[in-house]
Amino acid sequence: MTDPITTPTYRFLEKGIPNLDGFPVYDSPFTLEEPCLRASNVDWQPDRSEARYYLGYDEAAPEMGTELDRATGTVLSILVLCYGDYPNLHKRCIDSILGTIPVHRLDLRIALNCVGPSTRSYVSTVTATKVYNYSSNKNKYPIMRDMLHDPAAPLLGKYVAWFDDNTYVVDGDWVNNAVRTIKKQPDFVGMYGIRRYRPVSSAATKNWLATRSWHKGLELSNIDGIPGGAGDKVLHFCDDWFWLASKKALYAADIPCKDLVQRGGGPIIGEQLRQAGYEIKQFNVGKTHVHIPPFKKQVRRGDPGKFPWET
Protein backbone atom coordinates (compact mmCIF):
# COMPACT_ATOMS: atom_id res chain seq x y z
CA MET A 1 0.00 0.00 0.00
CA THR A 2 1.16 3.50 -0.82
CA ASP A 3 1.56 5.91 2.08
CA PRO A 4 1.26 9.64 1.49
CA ILE A 5 4.34 11.71 2.10
CA THR A 6 2.24 14.33 3.81
CA THR A 7 0.19 13.78 6.93
CA PRO A 8 -3.62 13.65 6.72
CA THR A 9 -5.10 16.97 5.69
CA TYR A 10 -7.08 19.09 8.09
CA ARG A 11 -8.77 21.82 6.10
CA PHE A 12 -9.98 24.73 8.17
CA LEU A 13 -10.49 28.39 7.49
CA GLU A 14 -8.25 30.92 9.23
CA LYS A 15 -10.38 34.02 9.71
CA GLY A 16 -9.42 37.55 8.74
CA ILE A 17 -6.00 36.94 7.23
CA PRO A 18 -4.62 39.43 4.66
CA ASN A 19 -3.93 37.50 1.47
CA LEU A 20 -3.08 37.70 -2.18
CA ASP A 21 -6.44 38.30 -3.81
CA GLY A 22 -8.89 38.88 -0.98
CA PHE A 23 -9.33 35.15 -0.37
CA PRO A 24 -8.80 33.35 2.94
CA VAL A 25 -5.93 30.99 3.69
CA TYR A 26 -6.57 27.26 4.02
CA ASP A 27 -4.63 24.20 5.05
CA SER A 28 -3.49 22.45 1.91
CA PRO A 29 -5.26 19.18 1.01
CA PHE A 30 -2.55 18.17 -1.45
CA THR A 31 -0.78 14.91 -0.70
CA LEU A 32 2.03 13.51 -2.76
CA GLU A 33 2.17 9.73 -2.97
CA GLU A 34 5.17 7.51 -3.48
CA PRO A 35 5.59 3.81 -2.68
CA CYS A 36 7.48 2.85 0.46
CA LEU A 37 7.57 6.39 1.83
CA ARG A 38 6.06 6.84 5.26
CA ALA A 39 4.91 10.05 6.87
CA SER A 40 5.48 11.09 10.45
CA ASN A 41 1.91 10.57 11.61
CA VAL A 42 1.20 13.59 13.77
CA ASP A 43 -2.46 14.49 14.10
CA TRP A 44 -3.43 18.14 14.03
CA GLN A 45 -4.48 19.48 17.41
CA PRO A 46 -5.59 22.88 18.71
CA ASP A 47 -2.84 25.29 19.61
CA ARG A 48 -1.91 25.01 23.27
CA SER A 49 1.60 26.30 22.86
CA GLU A 50 1.45 28.77 25.73
CA ALA A 51 1.45 25.73 28.02
CA ARG A 52 4.03 23.80 25.99
CA TYR A 53 7.03 26.06 25.91
CA TYR A 54 10.05 23.79 25.97
CA LEU A 55 12.42 24.85 28.70
CA GLY A 56 15.72 23.76 27.22
CA TYR A 57 19.01 23.29 28.95
CA ASP A 58 21.58 26.07 29.19
CA GLU A 59 23.57 23.78 26.93
CA ALA A 60 21.91 21.21 24.70
CA ALA A 61 22.23 17.56 25.66
CA PRO A 62 24.76 15.57 23.56
CA GLU A 63 22.08 13.28 22.09
CA MET A 64 20.21 16.21 20.54
CA GLY A 65 20.76 16.27 16.80
CA THR A 66 22.62 12.96 16.65
CA GLU A 67 20.56 11.91 13.60
CA LEU A 68 22.41 14.51 11.52
CA ASP A 69 24.83 12.66 9.22
CA ARG A 70 26.40 12.78 5.77
CA ALA A 71 23.02 12.56 4.04
CA THR A 72 21.62 15.63 5.77
CA GLY A 73 24.86 17.34 6.71
CA THR A 74 26.42 17.02 10.12
CA VAL A 75 25.44 20.58 11.01
CA LEU A 76 22.14 22.39 10.63
CA SER A 77 22.14 25.99 9.42
CA ILE A 78 19.62 28.03 11.42
CA LEU A 79 18.68 31.58 10.47
CA VAL A 80 16.92 33.79 13.02
CA LEU A 81 15.43 37.19 12.24
CA CYS A 82 15.04 39.56 15.22
CA TYR A 83 13.08 42.76 14.68
CA GLY A 84 12.42 45.77 16.89
CA ASP A 85 12.91 46.34 20.60
CA TYR A 86 11.53 43.02 21.86
CA PRO A 87 14.42 41.49 23.81
CA ASN A 88 12.32 38.89 25.65
CA LEU A 89 10.93 37.62 22.35
CA HIS A 90 14.40 37.38 20.84
CA LYS A 91 15.92 35.64 23.85
CA ARG A 92 13.08 33.10 24.04
CA CYS A 93 13.53 32.14 20.39
CA ILE A 94 17.33 31.88 20.42
CA ASP A 95 17.51 30.19 23.84
CA SER A 96 15.06 27.52 22.67
CA ILE A 97 17.36 26.75 19.73
CA LEU A 98 20.56 26.73 21.80
CA GLY A 99 18.88 24.47 24.35
CA THR A 100 17.95 21.86 21.74
CA ILE A 101 20.97 21.50 19.44
CA PRO A 102 24.63 21.35 20.54
CA VAL A 103 26.79 24.16 19.19
CA HIS A 104 29.06 21.78 17.28
CA ARG A 105 26.04 20.71 15.21
CA LEU A 106 24.79 24.26 14.76
CA ASP A 107 25.54 26.89 12.12
CA LEU A 108 23.64 29.82 13.65
CA ARG A 109 23.10 33.12 11.80
CA ILE A 110 21.21 35.96 13.51
CA ALA A 111 19.87 39.10 11.84
CA LEU A 112 19.33 42.15 14.06
CA ASN A 113 16.87 44.42 12.27
CA CYS A 114 16.35 47.69 14.20
CA VAL A 115 16.72 45.91 17.55
CA GLY A 116 17.31 47.60 20.90
CA PRO A 117 20.42 47.59 23.11
CA SER A 118 19.16 44.72 25.30
CA THR A 119 18.96 42.38 22.32
CA ARG A 120 22.38 43.47 21.05
CA SER A 121 23.88 42.83 24.46
CA TYR A 122 22.29 39.39 24.71
CA VAL A 123 23.31 38.33 21.19
CA SER A 124 26.91 39.36 21.91
CA THR A 125 27.01 36.46 24.41
CA VAL A 126 25.70 33.89 21.91
CA THR A 127 27.95 31.61 19.86
CA ALA A 128 26.90 32.44 16.30
CA THR A 129 28.58 31.92 12.93
CA LYS A 130 27.57 35.42 11.86
CA VAL A 131 25.43 38.32 13.10
CA TYR A 132 23.89 40.68 10.54
CA ASN A 133 23.20 44.22 11.75
CA TYR A 134 20.69 46.65 10.26
CA SER A 135 20.19 50.05 11.85
CA SER A 136 17.21 50.86 9.60
CA ASN A 137 14.45 48.47 8.63
CA LYS A 138 15.57 46.45 5.60
CA ASN A 139 12.49 44.18 5.77
CA LYS A 140 12.24 40.43 6.00
CA TYR A 141 12.95 39.10 2.53
CA PRO A 142 15.92 41.30 1.58
CA ILE A 143 17.45 40.20 4.90
CA MET A 144 16.62 36.56 4.17
CA ARG A 145 18.41 36.95 0.86
CA ASP A 146 21.44 38.49 2.56
CA MET A 147 21.63 35.51 4.91
CA LEU A 148 21.02 32.75 2.37
CA HIS A 149 23.27 34.19 -0.34
CA ASP A 150 26.30 35.44 1.55
CA PRO A 151 29.53 34.81 -0.41
CA ALA A 152 31.61 35.97 2.56
CA ALA A 153 30.06 33.34 4.87
CA PRO A 154 28.48 30.45 2.91
CA LEU A 155 25.98 28.28 4.75
CA LEU A 156 27.62 25.25 6.33
CA GLY A 157 24.63 22.89 6.47
CA LYS A 158 22.90 20.94 3.72
CA TYR A 159 19.60 21.90 5.37
CA VAL A 160 18.47 25.30 6.55
CA ALA A 161 15.86 26.24 9.17
CA TRP A 162 14.28 29.70 9.30
CA PHE A 163 12.93 31.15 12.57
CA ASP A 164 11.04 34.43 12.87
CA ASP A 165 11.59 35.90 16.33
CA ASN A 166 8.03 35.13 17.48
CA THR A 167 8.63 31.39 17.09
CA TYR A 168 10.35 29.04 19.53
CA VAL A 169 11.12 25.34 19.95
CA VAL A 170 8.68 23.26 22.00
CA ASP A 171 10.16 19.80 21.27
CA GLY A 172 13.59 19.00 22.68
CA ASP A 173 14.13 16.36 19.97
CA TRP A 174 12.91 18.49 17.04
CA VAL A 175 16.17 18.21 15.09
CA ASN A 176 16.24 14.42 15.21
CA ASN A 177 12.52 14.29 14.38
CA ALA A 178 13.11 16.56 11.39
CA VAL A 179 16.04 14.50 10.12
CA ARG A 180 14.06 11.25 10.44
CA THR A 181 11.31 12.83 8.33
CA ILE A 182 13.77 14.13 5.72
CA LYS A 183 15.44 10.74 5.29
CA LYS A 184 12.11 9.14 4.34
CA GLN A 185 11.50 11.53 1.46
CA PRO A 186 12.66 11.66 -2.16
CA ASP A 187 15.07 14.36 -3.28
CA PHE A 188 12.31 16.44 -4.88
CA VAL A 189 10.84 17.29 -1.47
CA GLY A 190 12.58 20.60 -0.87
CA MET A 191 10.82 22.24 2.09
CA TYR A 192 9.14 21.15 5.31
CA GLY A 193 6.60 23.08 7.37
CA ILE A 194 2.92 23.68 8.02
CA ARG A 195 1.45 23.57 4.53
CA ARG A 196 -1.23 25.99 3.37
CA TYR A 197 -2.60 27.41 0.14
CA ARG A 198 -3.91 30.75 -1.11
CA PRO A 199 -6.28 31.04 -4.05
CA VAL A 200 -5.06 33.26 -6.89
CA SER A 201 -7.53 34.84 -9.29
CA SER A 202 -6.42 38.32 -10.39
CA ALA A 203 -4.74 38.80 -13.74
CA ALA A 204 -2.19 41.14 -12.15
CA THR A 205 -0.97 38.42 -9.80
CA LYS A 206 -0.84 35.77 -12.52
CA ASN A 207 0.99 38.07 -14.92
CA TRP A 208 3.50 39.07 -12.27
CA LEU A 209 4.27 35.44 -11.44
CA ALA A 210 4.64 34.44 -15.09
CA THR A 211 7.18 37.19 -15.81
CA ARG A 212 9.64 36.40 -13.00
CA SER A 213 13.08 35.15 -13.96
CA TRP A 214 12.60 32.01 -11.85
CA HIS A 215 9.31 31.06 -13.57
CA LYS A 216 9.77 27.94 -15.71
CA GLY A 217 6.41 28.04 -17.51
CA LEU A 218 4.49 25.62 -15.30
CA GLU A 219 0.80 26.47 -15.15
CA LEU A 220 -0.66 27.37 -11.76
CA SER A 221 -1.80 24.28 -9.88
CA ASN A 222 -5.24 23.61 -8.48
CA ILE A 223 -6.15 22.70 -4.92
CA ASP A 224 -4.98 19.11 -5.52
CA GLY A 225 -1.58 20.23 -6.77
CA ILE A 226 -2.24 19.46 -10.46
CA PRO A 227 -0.73 22.06 -12.83
CA GLY A 228 -3.51 23.51 -14.97
CA GLY A 229 -6.02 21.20 -13.29
CA ALA A 230 -9.72 21.92 -12.95
CA GLY A 231 -10.95 24.34 -10.32
CA ASP A 232 -9.50 27.37 -8.57
CA LYS A 233 -5.82 28.02 -9.03
CA VAL A 234 -3.79 28.26 -5.83
CA LEU A 235 -0.29 28.70 -4.43
CA HIS A 236 0.81 25.95 -2.04
CA PHE A 237 3.35 27.06 0.56
CA CYS A 238 4.72 26.61 4.08
CA ASP A 239 3.94 29.07 6.85
CA ASP A 240 6.92 31.39 6.64
CA TRP A 241 7.46 31.97 10.36
CA PHE A 242 9.26 28.61 10.55
CA TRP A 243 10.35 26.22 7.85
CA LEU A 244 13.11 23.72 7.13
CA ALA A 245 14.50 23.37 3.61
CA SER A 246 17.17 21.75 1.51
CA LYS A 247 19.90 24.26 0.68
CA LYS A 248 20.05 22.71 -2.79
CA ALA A 249 16.35 23.46 -3.33
CA LEU A 250 16.64 27.02 -2.00
CA TYR A 251 19.48 27.77 -4.42
CA ALA A 252 17.86 26.01 -7.39
CA ALA A 253 14.72 28.11 -6.88
CA ASP A 254 16.71 31.31 -6.17
CA ILE A 255 14.82 31.85 -2.90
CA PRO A 256 13.69 34.35 -1.89
CA CYS A 257 12.55 36.18 -5.01
CA LYS A 258 14.56 39.40 -5.38
CA ASP A 259 11.32 41.39 -5.71
CA LEU A 260 10.00 40.35 -2.28
CA VAL A 261 10.12 42.93 0.50
CA GLN A 262 7.70 42.06 3.31
CA ARG A 263 4.30 40.94 2.09
CA GLY A 264 3.35 37.82 0.14
CA GLY A 265 6.63 36.01 0.73
CA GLY A 266 5.36 32.60 1.84
CA PRO A 267 3.15 31.90 -1.20
CA ILE A 268 5.73 33.25 -3.64
CA ILE A 269 8.48 31.07 -2.14
CA GLY A 270 6.16 28.07 -2.44
CA GLU A 271 5.64 28.82 -6.12
CA GLN A 272 9.38 29.31 -6.65
CA LEU A 273 9.98 25.82 -5.29
CA ARG A 274 7.27 24.30 -7.48
CA GLN A 275 8.62 25.99 -10.61
CA ALA A 276 12.07 24.57 -9.79
CA GLY A 277 10.65 21.03 -9.54
CA TYR A 278 10.38 20.72 -5.76
CA GLU A 279 7.48 19.84 -3.48
CA ILE A 280 6.82 20.66 0.17
CA LYS A 281 5.93 18.26 2.96
CA GLN A 282 3.89 18.73 6.07
CA PHE A 283 6.06 19.07 9.16
CA ASN A 284 5.33 20.62 12.55
CA VAL A 285 1.61 19.92 12.13
CA GLY A 286 -0.15 20.94 15.33
CA LYS A 287 2.95 22.99 16.18
CA THR A 288 4.36 19.93 17.93
CA HIS A 289 8.00 20.86 17.27
CA VAL A 290 8.14 24.65 16.91
CA HIS A 291 5.54 27.13 18.11
CA ILE A 292 4.33 29.63 15.56
CA PRO A 293 1.77 32.26 16.56
CA PRO A 294 -1.87 31.76 15.60
CA PHE A 295 -3.13 34.25 13.03
CA LYS A 296 -5.89 35.57 15.24
CA LYS A 297 -3.39 36.53 17.96
CA GLN A 298 -0.92 38.22 15.63
CA VAL A 299 0.34 41.63 16.70
CA ARG A 300 1.52 43.47 13.62
CA ARG A 301 4.99 44.96 14.03
CA GLY A 302 6.00 47.41 11.35
CA ASP A 303 4.40 48.32 8.04
CA PRO A 304 3.43 45.19 6.04
CA GLY A 305 3.90 47.13 2.82
CA LYS A 306 2.47 46.20 -0.56
CA PHE A 307 2.51 43.01 -2.57
CA PRO A 308 5.36 43.12 -5.11
CA TRP A 309 2.98 43.35 -8.10
CA GLU A 310 1.43 46.47 -6.55
CA THR A 311 4.61 48.57 -6.64
At 91-103, the pLDDT tens digits run 999 999 999 999 9
Question: Mean per-residue pLDDT for 5-24?
Answer: 35
The top-level CATH class assigned to 3-36+65-297 is alpha beta
pLDDT above 70 (res 301): no
> Is 138's pLDDT higher than 60?
yes
| Cα 12 to Cα 32: distance, rounded to the nearest angstrom | 20
Using CA atoms, how far apart are residues 150 and 79, in angstroms rounded to an integer? Answer: 12
pLDDT higher for 76 or 231? Answer: 76
Q: What single-letter DSSP state applies at residue 227?
A: B
Distance CA 70, CA 157 (A): 10
Span 187-210, pLDDT tens digits: 999 999 999 888 888 888 899 999
User: How confident is the model at residue 300, as a pLDDT?
Assistant: 58
Higher pLDDT, 173 or 263: 173
| Bigger pLDDT: 158 vs 304 | 158
- 26 pLDDT exceeds 70? no
pLDDT tens digits for range 265-278:
899 999 999 999 99
Lowest model confidence (mean pLDDT) among 4-8, 94-98, 291-295: 4-8
CA dist 146 and 152 (Å) reads: 10
| pLDDT at residue 77 greater than cutoff 90 | yes
Spatial distance between the Cα atoms of 110 and 132, rounded to a whole number of angstroms: 6
What's the average model confidence in pLDDT over 113-129? 96
What distance, in Å, lies between the first and last C-alpha atoms of the chain? 49
Question: Rounded distance, CA 302 to CA 309, Å?
Answer: 20
Q: Which one is predicted more confidently, 64 or 251?
A: 251
CA atoms of 172 and 99, how far apart (whole Å): 8
Higher pLDDT, 74 or 161: 161
